[in-house]
Amino acid sequence: MPKDPSIKKVLLIGSGPIIIGQAAEFDYAGAQACRSLREEGIEVVLINSNPATIMTDVEMADRVYIEPLSVEFVERIVAKERPDGIVATLGGQTGLNLATQVAEAGILERYNTRLLGTPLRAIRQAEDREEFRTLMREIGEPVPESWIITDESQLGDAIASGIWPLIVRPAYTLGGTGGGIARNVDELLTITRSGLALSMRHQVMVERYLSGWKEVEYEVMRDANDTAITVCNMENFDPMGVHTGDSIVIAPSQTLSDKEYQMLRTASLKIIRSLGIEGGCNVQLSLDPHSFAYYVIEVNPRVSRSSALASKATGYPIARVSAKIAIGLHLDEIENAVTRKTLACFEPALDYCVLKIPRWPFDKFVGADRRITTQMKATGEVMAIDRAFEPALMKAIRSLEVGIYGLANKTGHTLSDMELEEAIRVPHDERLWSITEGFRRGMMVEEINALSNVDPWFLRKLEGLVNLETRLKVNAPAFKQMSKALESEEEEAQEPLEERFGSAVRLLREAKRMGFADRTVSEFAGMSEGKLRKLRKHLGIVPVYKMVDTCAAEFEALTPYYYSCYDTEDE
């Protein structure tokens, strides 16, 4: 079906200020949506209280309101502008909550307008814990068993279930104070008692604790014709227990077999269909690393931080397409803006590895609790792309601007072995470097896996990097010799460096291919970064640039979106 002709004017709700959990991604989403809607001839009215956004530029929307994101002001704008519909799924949780309040206040009926895209019922079903669980049970998708407890005498069912360990979370307290993991009845009673005392409403939730399970996300899209696709899946480096926003994330998943990948994909599509979402949606799942068992953890019935990441990771513009779906277009009527030859109705194929690392504010808040848990603490994130995991990781590390450019942080080597084990076991902002320090001290993949539950595939990659780092430390002085030889070469013609320093040249090439920064390598070699760079260029060890094209080179793409790698062909 082409776009709904009754929609001529749309109110788009923005996400307001940048807070932890809601950063620039919603400006990206909103700006894309504005363009996407105006392309279709729709007049766009926008409200956002945050003027430091592209979406609030007068060029982006027809009518820009920089007013507080409150029901009162939205109602006044609706009364004044009389939009045919409201798009609320691109303004983060703020936008979604506001739209729900606006709908509940009867404003939609009063001014004869409606929510576009995902219906309010779907939003409620996805957001309300009980409604969501009921729906999942109806469609046969597993959710972790849980019980609401207001008195310790109610623990009978939980104990009888035989599920261990259980996690106890006090309701309505923030930061998870008073909760804990119970591995037996005694622990369960103790933790529940203290949790009940700390909860403002004297309530705790007891839930199956998916300790060590993999956390996987799917970004899915659906249109009004019930065509549904997945844009991307992503696997968390950190197993369950760490907020996705605080987790190192890899796209696409690396350790899932096709059967597992498809099983979770099918579940995600079933969920988006059962909710009746029209637009983008994020499904978080947890997968047992030792069986096909999985649980549905959460659904975000809107464009999210993960969608921004998925969009950049794949080249697929989720917000742009979501906006078009909201006004009635079907996926097969929307152009793939990257290839401009194919349509938005396909699933991107990646031919590279994408890595995201969160950026935490602990450089500012020195005294803050640096453990990362289920409450997000990162203010932002960096992403890196390469043809392999290792260089993507190394690029992401040096993008963070936290004074770390490689595999060692400032404090890792100062820890005792016991402290280090603890730092590997308990997630915190620098756990990555605790793990590399572990390998540096000769720990095995199995040991670190047992402590951290991080998948052995990732750990093996880190171990390989540490081994290469060791070889570099030993052999890097040869780079300095090469550099000196290069400087004197102008005077006396000698045989090429490749011949004289064959193994050193190969090592340098390998180091660059694996993503080691010139800064790190030159430090090991005891030379300046500039000289190393000159040497590298002389040896022809320079990166090539490849295109992110949504289709793994299957089709010609026009969009000039590049990443570097030390492969052979430059595009």
Partner 1 sequence: MSDKGKVIVIGSGPIRIGQGIEFDYSCVHCVWTLRELGYEAIIINNNPETVSTDFDTSDRLFFEPLTVEDVMNIIDREEPEGVIVQFGGQTAINLAKPLHEAGVRIFGSSYDSIDLAEDRDRFDNVLRALNVAKPQGRAVTNEKDALIVAEEISYPVLVRPSYVLGGRAMELVYSRADLERYMTYVVDVSPKAPILIDKYIIGKEVEVDVISDGVDCLLPGIMEHIERAGVHSGDSMAVYPPQTLSQDVIDQIVRVATSLALRLEVRGLMNIQFVVDHETNTAMVLEVNPRASRTVPYLSKVTGIPMVKVATRAMMGVSLKEQGYTSGLHPNQGSIAVKAPVFSFLKLTQVDIGLGPEMKSTGEIMGVDTKYPLALYKAMLASGIDVPTGGNLIATIADPDKAEAVPIIRGFQEMGFHIYATAGTASYLTQRGIPVTTVHKLHEANENITSLIRSGKISLLINTLSTDKRIEREAIQIRRASVEAGVPCLTSLDTAKALLLSLATRKKGANFALATIDEYMEGRVMA
Partner 2 sequence: MKAILALEDGTLFEGQSLGATGRTNGEVVFNTGMTGYQEILTDPSYAGQIVTLTYPLIGNYGINPDDFESRRVQVEGFVVREAAEIASNWRSKQTLDSFLKERGIIGIQGIDTRALTRALRVRGVMMGAISTEDTPESLLEHIRNAPGYGSKDLARQVTAEQSYRWRVGDTKPVSAGSVSEVKPRYHIALLDFGVKYNILRSLANLGCETTVYPCTVTAEEVLRANPDGIFLSPGPGDPEQYGYMVDTVRQLVGKKPIMGVCMGNQILGYAFGSKTFKLKFGHRGSNHPVKDLNTGRVYITSQNHGYAVDPDRLKDGMEVAHINLNDGTVEGLRHKELPIFSIQYHPEASPGPSDSAYFFHQYINMLDRHYGRS
Nearer to partner 1, 25 or 463 (CB): 25
Please name which of 172, 42, 175, 33 lies closest in space to residue 92, comparing C-alpha atoms. 33
Q: How far apart are the C-alpha atoms of 285 and 452, rounded to whole Å?
A: 19
Site residues for partner 2 per CB under 8 A: 225-227, 229-230, 252-262, 265-266, 269, 289-291, 330-332, 341-343, 345-353, 387-389, 445, 455-457, 460, 464, 546, 551-556, 567-569, 571
Question: Site map for partner 1, 65-84, x if CB under 8 A?
Answer: xxxxxx--x--xx--x----
Q: Which does 8 bind (CB under 5 to 8 A by kind): partner 2, partner 1, none?
A: none
Around Cβ 413, how many Cβ atoms within 10 Å? 12
173 binds, among partner 2, partner 1, none (CB under 5 to 8 A by kind): partner 1
When asked if residue 546 is in the footprint of partner 1 (CB under 8 A), the reply is no
The listed partner (partner 2, partner 1, none) that binds 203, CB under 5 to 8 Å by sort, is none
Using the rule CB under 8 A, is 54 a contact of partner 1? yes
Per CB under 8 A, 202 contacts partner 1: no
Least Cβ distance, residue 532 to partner 1 (angstroms): 9
- Site mask for partner 1 (CB under 8 A), range 433-472, x = bound: ----------------------------------------
Select the residue interacting with partner 1 from 325, 385, 454, 508 (CB under 8 A).
Answer: 385
Do 287 and 257 contact (CB within 8 A), yes or no?
A: no
Grouping H, G, I as helix, E, B as strand and the rest as coil, residue 528 is: coil
**What's the CA gap between 193 and 225, in Å, rounded?**
50
Smallest gap, in angstroms, from Cβ of residue 459 to partner 2? 9
**Distance between CA atoms of residues 108 and 89, nearest Å:** 16
Q: Give the whole-angstrom CA distance, residue 458 versus residue 237.
A: 7
Binding residue for partner 1 (CB under 8 A) from 317, 328, 412, 438? 317
Q: Does 535 participate in binding partner 1 (rule CB under 8 A)?
A: no
* Rama region for 300: left / alpha / beta (φ>0; ψ in -120 to 50; rest): beta
CA distance 189 to 212: 23
User: Is 537 a residue that touches partner 1 (CB under 8 A)?
Assistant: yes
* Contact by Cβ (8 Å): 301, 89: yes
Residue 111 binds partner 1 (CB under 8 A): no
Nearer to partner 1, 15 or 125 (CB): 15
For partner 2, give the closer residue by CB, 109 or 446: 446
- Pick the closest to residue 514 from 570, 450, 544, 469 (CA basis): 469
What is the pattern of x (binds partner 1, CB under 8 A) and - over residues 223-262? Answer: ----------------------------------------
Residue 115 interacting with partner 1 (CB under 8 A): no
- Report in angstroms how near the CB of residue 22 gets to partner 1 at its nearest: 8
Task: Tell me which stretch binds partner 1 (CB under 8 A): 56-64, 139-147, 150-158, 257-265.
Answer: 56-64
Q: Is 97 in the site for partner 1 (CB under 8 A)?
A: no
374 CA to centre of own chain: 14
CB-based burial of residue 120 (10 Å sphere; 0-12 exposed, 13-18 middle, 19+ buried)? middle
- Tokens 């309101």 belong to residue: 65
- Is residue 333 within 8 Å of 373, Cβ to Cβ? no
What are the distances in angstroms from CA 38 to CA 8, 41, 85, 303?
A: 10, 5, 14, 19
Helices 258-275 and 120-127: crossing angle in degrees, nearest 10, is: 130
Question: Measured from the CB atom, is 326 or 376 closer to partner 1?
Answer: 376
